[in-house]
Structure 1
Amino acid sequence: MKGLLLIFTFTFSLSVSASEIDLDEFAQTYFKAMVATQAPNATKDDLENYFSLLTDDVGHSHLPWVTDDSRLPDGKEAMRKGMLFYLGAHTEYNAELLDVFIFNNSAIAIRYKNSAKGIHPESKQPLAYTQTMMEVLEMENGKVAIIRKYHE
C-alpha cells in the first residue's frame, strides 16, 4: 500500500510540474510567433508555429469585428482559415511589446504597439494603421484556450 501511495504521489507531482509553465517566457514566445504571422514574408510555417501554441478548440474575439469567443471544436481551424486569407497582405509590419501581465497560472495579458501597411486581399485597397493592442490569453494545459483582443 505504501508503495502504491508513493507511486501515485510521484506521478501526481510530475503531472502538476509538467502543467506549470513559465508564463512570462510563454508570453515572449507567443508574441514572437504572433508577430511572425504578420510579417510581409510570413509563411504557412509561421502560422503553424503560432497555432502550435493554441488549443484545437481555441476561442477568439477581436472587437469590434469578432465578438463571439466561444470555444468550438474547430476553433483553431477557423482561425487558420481567416489568417491564411490575410497571409502576406502586409508590405510593412512592426510591433513592440510594451507590457506582460501574469495572472496566477491561468492568464496572460500582453500589451503591444503595432503598425502596418499593405493591401487588403479582397478589396485591393491600401491599408495602414498604428495601434496599441492588449491580448488577454486564457491558458489551459500549457496552451492558449481563449484569446481576447482589445484596442486602446
Structure 2
Amino acid sequence: MTKWLFLFVSLAFSAMSIAKEKTIDLNKFAQEYFEKMVATQSPNATAKELEVYLALLKEDVGHSHLPWETDDARLPDGKQAMRKGMTFYLGAHTHYQAELLDVFTFNQSAVAIRYKNDAKGIHPQNNQAIAYSQVMMEVLEIEDGKVAVIRKYHE
C-alpha cells in the first residue's frame, strides 16, 4: 500500500511540475533576440555585445545561413563555433541598420523574425568593401527558453 501511495504522489508531483513549466512570451523573446543580434552587427560592437547575444542560445545550437552554411546540425560546440565565426566578423561594418518587419510565433516551439538590413563595411578576410541591403527571415527553434536552431533565409 505504501508503495502505491508513494507512486501516486510521485506521479502527481511530476504532472504538476510539467504543468508549471515556464512558458515564454515569444513575441517579447523575438524582440529581445532581434535587438541583441543587431547590436552584434554595429560598427562599435565588442565581445560584450556578442556574449549578450550568445546567452540567448543553447550550447549545442544549430545554425544554417543559406547558401553559405547549409548544415544546421546541433553539435556540442555549436555556440562556441558561432562565437568563433561571429568574432571574426565583429566590427567589420562601418554602417549597419536593421528594421524588424514581422514576427511569427508557433506555439512555444518556434518564432520567425523577418527584417530588413542595410550594411556597409570592409570584409575582414580580403579587405574588400562590402555593401548590401536585404530582407532576411530567421526561423528560431526554441527549447527550454533558449534558441536551439537558427535558420536564416534571404528574400
Short-chain TM bin: over 0.9
Q: Structure 1, unaligned stretches of length 5 or more?
A: none
In the alignment of these two chains, the number of paired residues is 149
Identity rate of aligned residues, in percent?
67
Output the amino acid matched with 1:72: L
* Cross-structure match for 1:27: 30
Q: Which runs of 4+ in 1 moved over 4 A?
A: none
Cα distance in 1, alignment partners of residues 16 and 112 from structure 2: 33
Q: Superposed, which structure 2 residues align to 1:1-152 within 5 Å?
A: 1=5, 4=9, 8=13, 9-14=15-20, 16=21, 18=22, 20-152=23-155
TM-score normalised over the length of structure 2: 0.91
Measure how far apart 1:122 and its partner are.
1.1
- CA RMSD in angstroms comes to 1.6
Bigger radius of gyration? 2
Task: Give unmatched runs, 5+ long, in structure 2.
Answer: none
Distance 1:6 1:149 in 2: 41
Give the TM-score normalised by the residue count of structure 1.
0.93
1:87-109 deviations in whole A, cap 9, x for unaligned?
00000000000000001111100
